[in-house]
Structures are given as structure tokens and as C-alpha cells.
Amino acid sequence: MDNDLHFGDAYPPREIARKVEGLGVAKARTDALTLLVLAVLAGAFISLGALFFIVVVTKSTLGFGMTRLVGGLSFCLGLILVVVAGAELFTGNNLIAMAWASRLIGTRAVMRNWFLAYLGNVGGCLATVMLVVWANVADLGGGAVGETALNIARAKADLSVIEAFTRGVLCNALVCLAVWLAMGGRSVTDKILAILFPITAFVAMGFEHSIANWFFLPLGLALDGEGTVSVIGATRNIVAVTAGNVVGGTLLVAGVYWVAYLRGERRPNDGPS
């Protein structure tokens, strides 16, 4: 019987590393139009998860910790859609660094994928912001949802560079671990369960996700009639969080697991020793 039919057995870490490496090669070679379309979808998916978070935590009486927990579970919608439905998310694509470290793809291919994925993600987020504003979702709960969105945007814009950067590092370590764990699953149920805890954790602990912030911050700016959300602060947040996300995904996950499992493996194009 094929080993793949042993339901419940996750792929072991070394096999996950090989799968991630191979997927990195495939992602780097994806044509531009396909990559952009899937990246726009990912931005929209993450935005829907962020909006779900906003609605769920609004007027919560569960207390700080439990409210963050429930909100984090709600936000998981975004990455579940990305992984299961299929989309290209910049932060998860930081794992392409494993294929780069194995010299299976070049630096230009990595930068091309990251640039197009980020561009498409931003487009998907901004398009979702427009739809949410036109739908007047902020008016739900007697305007409480809009106030929650504004408070979130203000808090993010007020973070210092070091706070935004380090929260970005911690966030994408957990996001890439969620993708890593999902790669180890053999069923849709496996993948969803693998995503829930790391993503809930990063949201509950207040870490920063650059693509989600392309929804939270523009939405806050769109709803801010009194100029209480700093444009400079929002820009600072996006730049610092994006840099932190890259460090967290490439070094703390892709880099560590490459060293642990792949650094000594021979490649088909390796010359004789």
C-alpha cells in the first residue's frame, strides 16, 4: 500500500524541508500574470481575515486575553484561504529562501517573486479597503466597528521603528511556521489545524504583519475624518514591519531549517566531490 495512504501521519520535518525547497523553485518560476493574480487574491484573503478580527473583537466583554484569543482565531481565516484555496502571500513566500540557499534559484528570481507578490498583495488589500468602505461595514454595531478599526490603525501608526521591526520579526516567524506545519499535513483538515495555533498566537500577542497592515492602516486612514492616524507613522510601520517580516521568515525559519536539514544534501547539478 502507498505510504501516502497512511492517514494521520504527517510528513516528517526533513521531508517538509524538501517540499518547501521544491515549492520555492516552482514559485520562483511562476509566470508574472499568474503570480500577480494569486497575489491579489492573497491580499484580499488576508484583508477579510483582518476585517473578521475587527468585527469579532468589537465590544467584546471577554477580557483582554480571551478577546485576543478569539480575535486571533478569527484572523486565521486569511491564511487558511491562502493555503487551502491557493494564493501567493509575500510573507509566506519568504520561505523561498531555502531554494536560494540550496542554489536552485538565483537572487534575481527571489526578488522578482517577492516584488510581484508584495505588489499584488497590496493591490488586493487596497481593493478590499475600498469595498469595505463602500459597503459601510464600519457602521456595524452603531459605528463601533469603525471605531475599533480606527483604534487599531492609531496604535499601529504610533509604534516606534524598533517596536514595529521586532514585532514584524516575531510575526513572520510564526506565519512561516504555520505554512511549514501546513506543508506537513496530508488533508485539508490537517492544514487548517496546523495554521490555527501559530496564527492565533501572533495576533493575540500583538505582532505585526505587513500585508495585514496594508488593510488595517489604509482602512483607518479612510475612516479618519479628524486626522488622528498619522500618515508618517503608518508609512514608518509598513516599512519597518516589512523588513522585520523578511528577517523573521528568511532567517528564523527558512535559514534555520535549511541549516538543520538541507545544507549537506547534494544537488543534481553539483559537480563531483
pLDDT at 3 over 70: no
Per-position b or e across 177-189, b if 16+ CB within 10 A of its CB: bbbbbbbbbeeee
Domain ranges of the chain: 11-261
pLDDT of residue 6: 52
Q: Alpha-carbon distance 225 to 153, whole Å?
A: 13
pLDDT of residue 21: 96
Prediction pTM value = 0.93
Chain segment 170-201, per-residue pLDDT in tens: 999 999 999 999 999 999 999 999 999 999 99
Helix (H) or strand (E) holding 211: helix 210-223
Average pLDDT over residues 241-265: 95
pLDDT at 145 over 80: yes
CA–CA distance from 259 to each of 25, 87, 115 (Å)?
18, 27, 26
Q: Which CATH architecture has domain 11-261?
A: Up-down Bundle (1.20)
Q: Alpha-carbon distance 28 to 47, whole Å?
A: 24
Chain segment 200-226, per-residue pLDDT in tens: 999 999 999 999 999 999 999 999 989
Q: Which of 178, 197, 14, 209 is nearest to 83 (CA)?
A: 178
Average pLDDT over residues 14-20: 95
Q: Which of 111, 126, 116 is nearest to 43 (CA)?
A: 126
Cβ atoms of 92 and 114 within 8 Å: the answer is no
Q: Alpha-carbon distance 49 to 188, whole Å?
A: 18
pLDDT over 70, % of the chain? 94
Q: Alpha-carbon distance 140 to 38, whole Å?
A: 30
Q: CB 64: neighbour CB atoms within 10 A?
A: 9
Lowest mean pLDDT among 41-55, 81-95, 119-133, 255-269: 255-269
